[in-house]
Amino acid sequence: MEKNVLIIGGGIVGLCSAYFLHKEGHQVTILDKSDITSGASFVNAGYITPSHIIPLASPGMISKGIKWMFSPTSPFYMKPRWDMDFFRWSWYFHKSSTKEKVAHAIPLIKEINLMSRELFTAIKNTGDLGDFQLERKGLLMLYKTEEEGEHELAVAEKASFLGLEVSSLDKKALNRLQPNLNMDVKGAIHYECDGHTTPTEFMEKMLNYLKRSGVIIKTKEEVTDLLIDNNRISKVTTDKAEYSVDEIVLAAGSWSEKLSKKMNLKLPVQAGKGYSINVARPTGITIPAILMEAKVAVTPMKEYTRFAGTMEFSGINDIIKKQRVQAIAKAVTQFYPDIKINDGEIGLAKSGLRPVSPDGLPYIGKCSSLKNLTIATGHAMMGWSLGPVTGQLVSEIISDKKTSMDINGFSPNRQF
């Protein structure tokens, strides 16, 4: 049965939800408070990462966060602030950072990422978006110290046990893989299961396709109120209009917690800011990599190489802290001695806010208290990778179909 669906949020999750809902024959409207040209869906590393099987909430992260809290250049940063939502989220994060919970999350993360990887390919094969960069060269985890290499090797062994393609490379093997690139590292773990894209290209082409297909896209329009009647959202009011709909999808990223309060819900989400620098000149980098000690992501995109990093919890803001951007640039030269990011490139750095749940797993599913609300947010660093599969799952939920995988582990109603 055709339904009138309103999606709040125009990031990759919102657009992919619209894509699959439209394919199912529903009438779809997307609302976004921005003009859908910036933010996390545009500045991320573009990774499709089945290899990222360990959630952000893992043993040792809290102690690292406290240690790094006093460093203006640390890769993981929690700004001390008086905010009850942040305190609550931090407590839930602490409770989620156990070996048992990580072990439970690993197979869920692997399965949903593999599904999404195949959906990226399926979308490309339809020709709906035309041609766009979608490569499967894997992901190199480059390390400078034996300690970091051993740590990642333990993760690689878990990934291999789960059936993911992964190999360990010494410096000679790395040089054979990228013969014209000077790397100051001891070796790498190569997750051959991973892929990458150019986010700005994909987002633009997806937006154009949705517009051509009749999906209504409303930009620079902010939700101000929601009318709840008989356990349903009957009306959505924005600063420009009112909407009466059959179904609502909350895919507002880092703004989802604020909006959830208008629905009398508690949805713990914190904004994790990331930065990226584009270098539009030859770098010699042909395979995506993570510079492990620095926690910097490197991606050879369509017209530039992108260097991205940091997970900064400092509230919802778009402030670009130059020290953190400079730390990314410095790390690049430490790993690639021949690559120097100049002041002009640093000055054009951009930021985006990732929506982070306390346990590092996304919220995907029906709200238990509001019958016509589906929640799709909280993807942390996997938002780009999981965009298509989240969209398909949202479409299946709203179309009253059996979901392609068991999503109980992603329930927005779960307790922490």
- Paired sense of beta strands 305-313 and 76-78, if any: parallel
**d(Cα 168, Cα 106) in Å, to the nearest integer?**
21
Spell out the per-residue pLDDT of the chain, length 416, in tens. 899 999 999 999 999 999 999 999 999 999 999 999 999 999 999 999 999 998 887 776 666 666 666 676 777 777 777 889 999 998 999 899 898 998 899 999 999 999 999 999 999 999 999 999 999 999 999 999 999 999 999 999 999 999 999 999 999 999 999 999 999 999 999 999 999 999 999 999 999 999 999 999 999 999 999 999 999 999 999 999 999 999 999 999 999 999 999 999 999 999 999 999 999 999 999 999 999 999 999 999 999 999 999 999 889 999 999 999 999 999 999 999 999 999 999 999 999 999 999 999 999 999 999 999 999 999 999 999 999 999 999 999 999 999 999 999 999 999 99
- Name the amino acid, one letter, at 49: T
**d(Cα 142, Cα 171) in Å, to the nearest integer?**
10
Q: Answer yes or no: are the C-beta atoms of 328 and 277 closer than 8 Å.
A: yes
- Which stretches does DSSP call E strand in 102-215? 134-135, 139-143, 166-170, 187-191, 195-197
90 in helix, strand or coil? helix
Q: Answer yes or no: are the C-beta atoms of 337 and 184 closer than 8 Å.
A: yes
- The pair of three-digit structure tokens given for residue 303, joined into one six-digit string: 């017209």
259 in helix, strand or coil? helix
Q: Answer yes or no: are the C-beta atoms of 271 and 354 closer than 8 Å.
A: yes
What's the pLDDT at 80? Answer: 76
Q: Answer yes or no: are the C-beta atoms of 53 and 110 closer than 8 Å.
A: yes
CA distances from 199 to 38, 275, 333 (A): 11, 14, 24
Kind and range of the H or E element at 362? none
Domain 4-410 has CATH 3.90.950.20: no
Domain boundaries, the chain: 4-410
Kind and range of the H or E element at 40? helix 40-43
Kind and range of the H or E element at 396? helix 387-398
Neighbour-count burial for 198-236, b at 16+ CB within 10 Å, e otherwise: bbbbbbbbbbebbeeeebebbeebebeebeeeeeebeeb
What's the pLDDT at 68? Answer: 65
The order of strands in the sheet holding 47-48 is: 47-48, 195-197, 134-135
What's the pLDDT at 76? Answer: 79
* Residue 397 CB coordination number (10 Å): 21
- The pair of three-digit structure tokens given for residue 142, joined into one six-digit string: 């480059």
- The pair of three-digit structure tokens given for residue 260, joined into one six-digit string: 């959830």
What's the pLDDT at 70? Answer: 63
What's the pLDDT at 348? Answer: 97
Neighbour-count burial for 169-189, b at 16+ CB within 10 Å, e otherwise: beeeebeebeeebebebebbb
What's the pLDDT at 66? Answer: 61
What's the pLDDT at 210? Answer: 98
CA proximity to 380, closest of 363, 357, 364: 357
Maximum Cα interatomic distance, the chain, rounded to a whole number of Å: 66
Kind and range of the H or E element at 206? helix 199-212
Cα 344 off chain centre by: 27
Q: Answer yes or no: are the C-beta atoms of 385 and 116 closer than 8 Å.
A: yes
